Amino acid sequence: MLLTLIIPAITLGLLSSFHCLGMCGPIAFVLPVGQRTKLGKVVGISTYNLGRISTYSILGLLIGFFGEGLRFMGVSQLISIVLGVLLIVYVIFAKKLVKLNVTNKYAYQFNTFVKAKLGVFLKKKTNSSLYFLGVLNGLIPCGVVFIALQGALLQVYILNSALFMLVFGLGTIPMMFSITYLSNSF
């Protein structure tokens, strides 16, 4: 039933909004919408959030294909248990893991690429640049998005995985929209 998909996804999105405030807030604070009319701000901020949610939905679709492969191989339950255990281990030992300062060369290069592109699009003031800022923001590694992707992985159908991530993203909009709109009003 869709309620078993929608309620957890929207709840995770709404509750994780406080995390978004701290982690994505700095990007949202500097979006180039400050000089726009009220309607222009609403359109620009909405376009930015559409970009974020587009990325989340595409990631959900990709994880849905991956999950379908796991179900086909008959290991999806095992993967779910392993992911749950890893999540608990991460929460318990997060500070110690950060101190290890383990870096992945490819992840570092990807993050550098995303940051560089964020800088390029922040200089532009078009709606298309705001959309791509949102797309790139959705690609920034985030623990809450990883948790949401685990929820998407557990969906039975590929499209439900994309829908899970879409609804999760919708749950983050009230906070992300509000902080952007208000920060650009001062």
The pLDDT tens digits for 42-85 are 999 999 999 999 999 999 999 999 888 777 777 767 777 887 78
Alpha-carbon distance 119 to 121, whole Å?
A: 6
* Predicted pLDDT at 1: 62
pLDDT average, residue stretch 150-169: 93
Q: Which residues contact 181 (CB under 8 A, 6 or more apart)?
A: 41, 42, 45
Alpha-carbon distance 145 to 148, whole Å?
A: 5
pLDDT at 183 over 90: no
pLDDT average, residue stretch 182-186: 73
pTM of the model: 0.85
Alpha-carbon distance 125 to 33, whole Å?
A: 7
Distances (CA, A) of 111 to 34, 50, 61, 104, 160: 27, 21, 22, 11, 28
Mean pLDDT of the chain: 88
